[in-house]
Chains A and B, each alone.
Chain A
Amino acid sequence: MSAADPAGPQADRIWDLGLLFITLGSVVYAVVIGFLLYALWQGGRRVESVGGPAVEHGLTQWVAGAIVVTTVLLLGLLVANLAVGRATAEFAQPGALTIRVTGHQWWWEIEYADPEPSRRVVTANEIHIPVGRQVRVEVSSRDVIHSFWVPNLHGKLDLTPGYRASTVLRADRPGVYHGRCAEFCGLQHARMDFRVIAESPGRFAAWYEGQLRPGRAPATTLEQQGQQVFLSRGCVLCHTVRGSAAGSRVGPDLTHLASRGTIAAGTLPNTRGHLAGWVLDPQSIKPGVLMPPNQLAANELRALLAYLQSLN
């Protein structure tokens, strides 16, 4: 993840501006410090003070010149800055994909808007987007202020409770782009990451159709036992698995948990071992996280993991 490696037009324009700033800034810095060092060098060799109207006049001309140059440079930068500001903020084009992102302590709720309610997809911490298509991201927060940031794609946007804000971005090449929460939001601000997966329109459509399906029904006895654990223990109080009796929206939607690459908002790879550790004792991985520890017998855990891993 890097703002210096843009993968879309917004981040690209901003990085061009950044390069302009860095280049110009380095030149200005070198010139100013050069003058300072030269002043010290030639002044340090001097035995007699210099003074008088001629010296003062000369200094005045130099200083006035420097101020004029500074002002002109700043005006130039202002114009460049306004141009980039306009370019990055252009309105969403028709056909843009609209995604609603809601911040929670400390995870991301992702909802794909569609006029048809049955075609809305809800997921968490992982955003799939089609390459080359404009994406409009609408943000808000359920609790405190968070900030949505994918450095390779665009600058950040705050998620403020009580407000909606939106931004436009586009990925021009496929890839997995890391995003994180940029506004301090409490104990686990450090571990509130997400991933943007930019893929070809075809693959995106396939993923989307997959996400529209309800959660897979348990196929084996072990998975059935696992679903029973899920529905009879604490899990059901916070999580949704569409197609089952679990429908709470306090925590992330787990309908297609196994299709996601990470768990715990980008903290851990989605493997059986990490999942087991997370289910049993999330507090040791993310101290302060709102998910409570779960005491499960070995066979219960085995069944639950089998069930969760079947939810692809």
Chain B
Amino acid sequence: MVTIEDALTEQPLDPGEREKLERTWQPCPGFRGWLTSVDHKSVGKRYVATAFLFFLLGGLEASAIRLQLARPENRLLDPDQYNQIFTMHGTTMMFLFGVPVVLASATYLIPLMVGTRNISYPRLNAFGYWVYLIGGLFLYSGFILNTGPDSGWFSYVPLAGPEYSPGKRMDVWAQTVTFTEIAAIIAGIELIVTILKQRAPGMSLHRMPLYVWAILVTSFVVLFAMPSVALASQMLAFDRLVGTHFFNPAEGGDPFLWQHLFWFFGHPEVYIMFLPAAGFASEIIPVFARRKMFGHTAVVLALVATGFISFGLWVHHMFATGLPQLSQSFFTAASLMIAIPSGVQVFCWIATLWAGRPRFDTPLLFVLGFIALFVLGGITGVMVGSVPFDQQVHDTYFVVAHLHYVQVGAFVFPLFAAFYFWFPKVTGRMLSERAGKWNFWLFFLGVNITFFPMHFLGMMGMTRRIYTYLPETGWGDLNLLATAGAMLIAASVVVFLGNIAWSLRRGGLAGENPWDAHTLEWATSSPPPPYNFTHLPVVEGLYPVWERSAERPVVTGLSAERREILVTTVLDAEPDSRHENPGPSIWPLLSALPVGVTFIGGIFTPWAFVIGPALMLPALIGWGWPQAIPPDDRSIEEVAA
């Protein structure tokens, strides 16, 4: 198959161009390169790998929970250990895996998919990763030292407040959340700017791939949702550390304030995870159905609508608090309404498969599993959106079943699909299809065996977050079944890890476009060079690789001797200006460390808020130190000729 790279030979090129690009964009060698990299691909890979490590830890915690609940009155864990473990499981999956892995994979994929050389603000991107890493290490250090948080990932006050959670445990939680918020907001900003200002010429908004749309919407949701939990977690930290009373009812504070702030973030967060996953599905389905996506515009509108409506549902987490009827009705209506855009996407996926010629490789299997699980989770979602019904099932295993169908089904499954789909691009090697199919079927069966019985357990009165139950409850058998299912999931993850380890060395070579896919990242080598494309492509249609003209136009005017990126207009992606993208730098790491000192130290002494910023100052000076750049006076017309 011919690619843009091949097409370049027909262009009048400077013969040494590729070597110059290599020289300009190459990272620092060795360990130093590891600490100073600002390439969106190396940071993105590292980010995904770290998030995946936390996924494994969260999975181990889930296994411990399932083993404890396998039998009534089991004594494997005591209540204190259990509470720490289920809190760690939720916190890890939401704050250290869910949101980060979404933004991490976008950090890797988006610049390639929109046809640019690097993400915007690459040093900030590296800084975001370091902050996230510090947060994750901090949380797990606390856990290992028996200072793991134990009030649930939702940390309801007053239980999480100073009076009922003395010690440092919930301080660790509050500050971990702060680290993740900083990293997420940073990634959201970079992705928005990259998507809006760095698309390859010709990729006007109506030619933007659906995954890019999904990430654009997600990034805006991040920007509006994260400040709410940032505010809440800092108020909690203040209540705990300096004796404010934001949440203390005895002193005029309000426990509901926490719930509103937390769920104003917490519900959109579900969509921060789901929207990119739906974007993955919308990219993968056309490739494996071997036809264009049906209803592109409808899907874009559905993504945007979901982003908006996601902010109108948070109160359905509070239906049991005794709110007035009228407000409950409003939030019920919003909770049911969000099923419509989700339905639009599901119908468009089915229509695409209907008129296509599906090829059942592992990525498509995971997407099909996703649809099967997500539709079920969506239907139970409509059920828990109803006030009276929710008052029965709220805080029971019915909700545990629902949320895991949605989050494992509609988030982890598409993520695995994406992993199988883009692994060849990232590493240059294919994952084993045979292992992939084992991985899929074990996982799919495991999820259903684990979570489907929980619907019944919830109806039978089994409440959430309990470390044990009495034999008379009659919940034992279904719990044992659920635990057996969880072991199947664990086995599938082992297959997955084995597949990666084997394929990294022995997997078949991928070539540029092994799946015959249509987005721009498949128009460069696998793995892509540090500069992504020898020449930035010019986009001629909604499916840039499928719809290329014979001329295969490219951008030739960017300097190969500087880290130049092309800035284009927001709507039409017309060339607008050139921008110098910064090179490797140690300052992101050196700036992240004082952030760690401030927030971690702040738990122990207020002096941290003096020492941290004092350390931050030299780092910021180093970061902002001007660099001599030789002038380049060519106009944008010459560049984009």
Q: Given contacts A163-B322, A166-B322, A189-B465, is CB(A29)–CB(B379) below 8 Å?
A: yes
Q: Which residue of A lies closest to B376 (CB)?
A: A29
In the complex, what residues of A have CB within 8 A of residue B471's CB? none
- Encode A43-77 as 1/0 by CB contact (under 8 A) with B: 11011111100011001101100110011001001
Known contacts: A157-B322, A166-B322. The answer to whether A51 contacts B391 by CB under 8 A is: no
Within 8 A of A (CB), among B382-398: 382-383, 386-396
With A144-B159, A190-B79 already in contact, the answer to whether A181 and B386 are too (CB < 8 A) is no
Query: Counting CB contacts under 8 A, is A271 at the interface?
Result: no
Within 8 A of A (CB), among B254-285: 254-256
Contact of A1 among B83, B290, B461 (CB under 8 A): B461
B505 → A minimal CB distance (Å): 33
Known contacts A40-B368, A190-B79, A145 near B325 by CB under 8 Å? no
- Given the interface pairs A63-B298, A182-B396, A184-B159, the reply to whether A21 lies near B389 with Cβ below 8 Å is yes
A39 at the A/B interface (Cβ < 8 Å)? yes
- Of B217-225, B345-353, B523-531, which binds chain A? B345-353
Structural contact, B371 and A36, CB atoms closer than 8 A: yes
Pick the contact of B343 from A29, A42, A66, A88 — CB < 8 Å? A66
A244 to B79 CA separation, bound complex (whole angstroms): 36
- Which residues of chain A come closer than 8 Å to B391, judged between CB atoms? 14, 154-157
Asked if A162 is at the interface of the complex by the 8 Å CB criterion, the answer is: yes
Q: Looking at the assembled complex, report how far the CB atom of A104 sits from the nearest CB atom of chain B, in whole angstroms.
A: 12
B28 adjacent to chain A (CB < 8 Å): no
Q: Is A161 touching B158 in the complex (CB atoms < 8 A)?
A: yes
Q: Please, how many angstroms separate the alpha-carbon atoms of A275 and B621 in the complex?
A: 69
* A-chain residues with CB within 8 Å of residue B337 when the two chains form the complex: 74
Query: Is A259 at the interface (CB under 8 A from chain B)?
Result: no
Partner of B368, one of A3, A36, A162: A36
Tell yes or no: B295 within 8 A of A by CB.
Answer: yes
B353-374 residues at the A interface, CB under 8 angstroms: 353-358, 360, 368, 371-372
Within 8 A of B (CB), among A163-195: 163, 165-167, 178, 180-191
Contact A145 B158 (CB under 8 A): yes
Tell yes or no: A288 within 8 A of B by CB: yes
Q: Specify the chain A residue showing the minimal Cβ separation from B253.
A: A162
B468 close to A182 (CB less than 8 A): no
Q: How far is it, in angstroms, between the C-alpha of A59 and the C-alpha of B289 when the chains are bound?
A: 15
Chain B residues within an 8 Å CB radius of A46: 356-357
Would B325 and A86 count as touching, CB distance under 8 A?
Answer: yes
Closest to B379 in A: A25
**Is A25 a contact of B394 with CB atoms below 8 Å?**
no
Contact status B354-A85, CB under 8 Å: no
Contact for A55 among B333, B340, B353, B355, CB less than 8 A: B355
Q: Is the CB of A145 within 8 A of B255?
A: yes
Say whether B23 faces chain A, with CB atoms less than 8 Å apart.
no
Contact between A288 and B158 (Cβ–Cβ < 8 Å)?
Answer: no
Least distance between B229 CB and chain A CB atoms (Å): 18
Query: B358 near A43 (CB under 8 angstroms)?
Result: yes
Identify A187's interface contact among B79, B256, B350, B461, CB under 8 A: B79
Closest chain B residue to A87, Cβ basis: B388
Partner of A74, one of B350, B382, B465: B382
Which B271-313 residues have C-beta < 8 A from chain A? 289-291, 294-295, 298
User: Known contacts A25-B382, A158-B321, A162-B250: does B466 contact A33 (CB below 8 Å)?
Assistant: no
With a cutoff of 8 Å between Cβ atoms, the chain A residues found around residue B158 in the complex are 143-145, 161
| Cβ contacts B76-118/A at 8 Å (1 or 0 each) | 0011100100000000000000000000000000000000000
Given the interface pairs A156-B320, A184-B152, the reply to whether A40 lies near B358 with Cβ below 8 Å is yes
Residues of A contacting B393 in the complex (Cβ-Cβ under 8 angstroms): 3
Cβ contact of A81, chosen from B350, B388, B460, cutoff 8 A: B388
B325 touches A44 (CB 8 A): no
Shortest Cβ distance from residue B496 to the other chain A in the assembled complex, whole angstroms: 24
Q: Which of B336, B347, B388, B459 contacts A67 (CB 8 A)?
A: B347
Q: Flag if A143 contacts B461 (CB, 8 Å).
A: no
Whether B394 lies near A14 (C-beta < 8 A) is no
In the bound assembly, the distance between CA atoms of A143 and B165 in angstroms comes to: 12
CB pair B394 A35 closer than 8 Å: no
Residue B469 is within 8 A (CB to CB) of chain A in the complex: yes
A74–B389 CB distance below 8 A: no
CB contacts (< 8 Å) of A296 on chain B: these are none
**Nearest residue in B to A184 (C-beta to C-beta)?**
B465
- Contact A145–B329 (Cβ < 8 Å): no
Q: Is A78 an interface residue (CB 8 A)?
A: yes
A280 to B465, CA, bound (A): 28
* Interface status of A82 (Cβ within 8 A of chain B): yes
Query: Assuming the A-B contacts A63-B351, A162-B250, A162-B255, are A190 and B467 also in contact, with contact meaning beta carbons closer than 8 angstroms in the complex?
Result: yes
Interface residues of B in 380-435 (CB under 8 A from A): 380, 382-383, 386-396
One of B83, B291, B340 near A70 (C-beta < 8 A): B340
A49 touches B357 (CB 8 A): yes
Known A3-B393, A151-B392; contact A287-B79, beta-carbon cutoff 8 A = yes
- A160, B392: Cβ atoms under 8 Å? no
Does residue B597 face the partner (Cβ distance < 8 Å to A)?
Answer: no
Instruction: Specify which chain A residues have a CB less than 8 angstroms from the CB of B351 in the assembled complex.
Output: 39, 59, 62-63
B339 touches A11 (CB 8 A): no
Q: Are A44 and B357 in contact (CB under 8 A)?
A: yes
Chain A residues whose C-beta falls within 8 Å of the C-beta of B291 in the assembled complex: 49, 51
Known: A151-B461, A180-B461. A85 touches B382 (CB 8 A): no
Taking a contact as CB atoms closer than 8 A, the residue among B80, B151, B360, B375 that contacts A33 in the complex is B375
Q: Are A35 and B336 in contact (CB under 8 A)?
A: no
Task: Check B320–A158 contact: CB distance below 8 A.
Answer: yes
B439 contacts A by Cβ under 8 Å: no
Q: Which residue of B lies closest to A10 (CB)?
A: B388
The answer to whether A17 has its CB under 8 Å from any CB of chain B is yes
Closest to A82 in B: B329
Query: B329, A49: Cβ atoms under 8 Å?
Result: no
B140 interface contact, C-beta 8 A: no
Question: Is B463 in contact with A182, judged by CB distance below 8 angstroms?
Answer: yes
Hey, which chain A residues are within 8 Å of B358, CB to CB? 40, 43-44
* CB of A243 within 8 Å of the partner chain: no
A13 interfacial contact with B, CB 8 Å:
yes
Given contacts A158-B321, A160-B321, A166-B322, contact A88 B355 (CB under 8 A): no
Given A78-B336, A161-B249, A182-B320, the answer on whether A63 and B380 have CB atoms closer than 8 Å is no
Q: With the chains together, A258 CA to B450 CA distance in Å?
A: 42
A–B pairs, 18, beta carbons within 8 Å? A3-B461, A17-B386, A36-B350, A59-B294, A59-B351, A67-B347, A78-B333, A78-B336, A85-B329, A89-B325, A144-B159, A149-B463, A151-B392, A155-B394, A165-B322, A182-B394, A184-B465, A190-B468
10 tightest Cβ-Cβ pairs between the two chains A and B: A155-B391, A162-B249, A165-B322, A190-B466, A39-B354, A1-B461, A25-B379, A184-B465, A144-B159, A182-B395
Chain A residues packing against B (C-beta within 8 Å): 1-4, 11, 13-15, 17-18, 21-22, 25, 28-29, 32-33, 35-36, 38-40, 42-44, 46-51, 55-56, 59-60, 62-63, 66-67, 70-71, 74, 77-78, 81-82, 84-86, 88-89, 105, 143-145, 147, 149, 151, 154-158, 160-163, 165-167, 178, 180-191, 267, 287-288
**Other A-B pairs beyond A3-B393, A49-B357, A157-B320, 12, CB < 8 Å:** A17-B389, A44-B357, A49-B290, A51-B291, A55-B355, A62-B351, A67-B344, A81-B332, A143-B158, A156-B394, A160-B256, A186-B159
